[in-house]
Amino acid sequence: MSNMKALRACTLGLAFAFSSLSPAVVWVSSAGATVLAKVNGKAITDTDLKIANEDLGPSIPQQLKGKARDAYLLDYLIDGELVAQKAKADKLDQTPDFPEKLAYYREKLLMQSLLSKVAKEATTDAALHKVYDAAAKASKPETEIHARHILVATKAEAEAALKRIKGGEDFAKVAKEVSKDSAADGGDLGWFTKERMVPEFAEAAFKLKVGQISDPVKTQFGWHIIQVEGKRQTKFPPFDQVKEQVTRYVVQKAQSEMISELRKGAKIERFGVAAETPAPAQKAAPKADTQKTDAQKTDASKPDAAKPATPDAKASTPPAPASK
C-alpha cells in the first residue's frame, strides 16, 4: 500500500503541475454527474474521474483494473483538489504570470481536443487496412539468414577456433569458450538481412550455404568465424502484428495534413523571431525489428537496430515493416 501511495504521489507531482494551472477546466462538474467525494465541500464527480482517466492514461499502473483503478483516480483527484485549494489560499492564482499560463493551457487543451478528434476520425478499420494493404503490396521479399559467429582478437585465435570446429567440436561450444561476443548464446545472432551487417561480415555470411562455416573474416571488431544455420525469404507481417505501427502512421499523417491546411489558410506574421524553420518530416510507421540480443544492439558486426525511414511528407503509405 505504501508503494502505491508513493507511486500515486509521483504521478500527482508530474501531472498536477499542469492541471493545477487550469482548475476551472479540470474540476468543473457536469449537470447530472454523480458526486463521488467532497473535499472541503468541493464535489468530485464521475465526470472528473473520466477526465482524469483520459488525462493520465498510460501513467496509471497497468495492474489496476475496475474498482481499484477508480479508487486510484479518485485519490489522485482528492490530492489534486487539496493542492489546488492550498494554492488558491496562498493566492498563487493571483501571480502576474498566472493568467498567461492559464491561457496557454487552455489553448493547449483545445489543440489536443482537435488532434484527438482528427485521430479518431482517421483511424477507421477501412483506413488502417488500406494503408496496410498498400504497404504489403509494395513490400519486396528479402533474403535473411540465421547464423552464429565466433569473435576473437587475432587471426591466429580465429584459425585455432576453426581448427577445433573442423576437428569435430560443436560450433556453439567453441563460441561459449573463446568468443568475445554472444558467448552465452553460443554465438547465436538470430535472423537478419544483409544490410543490417557491416559489409565485410555481410559479404562472407551471405555467400555461405546452410551448414557451411567461413574462413576467418576481418572486421573493425576483430576476427570472425561464421556458421549459417538457415536461410529464408522475409514475409510481410500480419495486420495484427503491425496494427499499432499502422495506426500511428495514419494518425500522424492525418494530423500533419490538417495542420498544413490550416497554415495555408492562415495569416501568420512573425516579429523579431528567427525565420520559420521547415516543418519536421512526417513520421512513418517504424519497421518491426527482428529480435536481437543485447550484444547485437551494441556490436555493428551484427544486426543493427532497424531505423524507420523518413519518407517525403506527401507519401501515402509507410515503409514495409520487416518480418519477424
pLDDT exceeds cutoff 50 at 213: yes
Query: What is the pLDDT, as a whole number, of residue 163?
Result: 97
Domains and CATH numbers, the chain: 2-95 (no CATH), 143-233 (3.10.50.40)
Residues in the chain: 324
Query: What is the pLDDT, as a whole number, of residue 275?
Result: 62
Nearest partner of 174 among 154, 157, 194, 191, judged by Cα: 157
pLDDT > 70 fraction of the chain, expressed in percent and rounded = 74
Q: CB-based contacts of 21: which residues, under 8 Å, 6+ apart?
A: 98, 101, 102, 105
Query: What is the pLDDT, as a whole number, of residue 222?
Result: 96
pLDDT > 90 fraction of the chain, expressed in percent and rounded = 68
pLDDT band with cut points at 50, 70 and 90 for residue 100:
very high
pLDDT band with cut points at 50, 70 and 90 for residue 205:
very high
Other CB atoms within a 10 A radius of the CB of residue 275 amount to 5
Q: Read off the amino acid at residue 229.
A: E
pLDDT exceeds cutoff 50 at 306: no
Cell of 283: 513520421
Query: What is the pLDDT, as a whole number, of residue 88?
Result: 96
HEC per residue, 204-226:
HHHHCCCCCECCCEEECCEEEEE
Q: What is the mean pLDDT of residues 270-289?
A: 58
What stretch of H or E contains 177? helix 171-178
Place of cell 582478437: 153
Of the ranges 16-25, 96-105, 290-299, which is most confident? 96-105
Place of cell 565466433: 150
What rounded mean pLDDT belongs to the chain? 81
pLDDT band with cut points at 50, 70 and 90 for residue 235:
confident
Query: What is the pLDDT, as a whole number, of residue 190?
Result: 94
Nearest partner of 282 among 246, 230, 318, judged by Cα: 318
pLDDT of 55-78, one tens digit each? 998 899 989 999 999 999 999 999
Cell of 189: 545472432
Query: What is the pLDDT, as a whole number, of residue 208?
Result: 97
Cell of 204: 562472407
Cα atoms in the 13 Å half-sphere on the side-chain side of 262:
9
pLDDT band with cut points at 50, 70 and 90 for residue 32:
confident
Distance CA 167, CA 163 (A): 6
Name the more confident of 291 and 277: 277
Place of cell 509507410: 318
Q: CB-based contacts of 98: which residues, under 8 Å, 6+ apart?
A: 21, 92
Name the more confident of 119 and 30: 119
pLDDT of 237-269, one tens digit each? 999 999 999 999 999 999 999 999 999 999 999
What stretch of H or E contains 16? helix 2-19
Nearest partner of 296 among 100, 115, 153, 146, judged by Cα: 146
Query: What is the pLDDT, as a whole number, of residue 240?
Result: 96
Name the more confident of 31 and 313: 31
Query: What is the pLDDT, as a whole number, of residue 170?
Result: 96
pLDDT band with cut points at 50, 70 and 90 for residue 30:
low
